[in-house]
């Protein structure tokens, strides 16, 4: 992850990445060709598309959208996460918010 962010510290850098260079960086994760294409396209859409939520960007689904809503917006109460770690954190937020 840190190698990626050191090489591509901004969406602009990631959107103009050399696909072959990005593929070699992602190789240990598997599916490097697909992931490289997805990261480049998603970065371009992040910069160019008039998006309201991450789920509107190529390659991002429910998990990314739920995480964004929980950690980056004030809409966390309306999220119904399915991922176990997000469920745990969301439940913790609900319990601690209701105690105040």
For residue 1, pLDDT over 90 is answered with no
83 is catalytic: yes
**Same domain flag for 72 and 85:** yes
Instruction: Give the whole-angstrom CA distance, residue 7 versus residue 91.
Output: 36
**Same domain flag for 27 and 41:** yes
For residue 100, pLDDT over 80 is answered with no
Q: What is the pLDDT of residue 97?
A: 85
Residue range(s) defining the domain that contains residue 50: 1-60
Domain count, the chain: 2
Phi, psi of 34 (to 5 degrees): -65, -45
Q: Is this model's pTM higher than 0.85 or not?
A: no
| The pair of three-digit structure tokens given for residue 96, joined into one six-digit string | 């601690």
Integer CA distances (angstroms), 26 to 12, 32, 44, 49, in order: 18, 5, 18, 25
Instruction: List, for residues 12-71, the tens digit of each pLDDT value.
Output: 999 999 999 999 999 888 888 899 999 999 999 999 999 999 999 999 999 999 999 999
Catalytic one of 77, 83, 85, 91:
83
**Same domain flag for 52 and 78:** no
């Amino acid at each position: 992850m840190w190698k990626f962010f050191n090489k591509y510290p901004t969406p602009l850098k990631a959107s103009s990445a050399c696909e072959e260079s990005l593929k070699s960086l992602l190789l240990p994760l598997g599916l490097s060709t697909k992931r490289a294409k997805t990261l480049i396209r998603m970065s371009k859409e992040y910069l160019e598309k008039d998006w309201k939520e991450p789920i509107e960007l190529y390659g991002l689904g429910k998990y990314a959208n739920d995480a964004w809503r929980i950690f980056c917006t004030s809409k966390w109460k309306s999220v119904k996460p399915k991922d176990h770690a997000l469920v745990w954190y969301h439940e913790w937020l609900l319990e601690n918010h209701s105690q105040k």
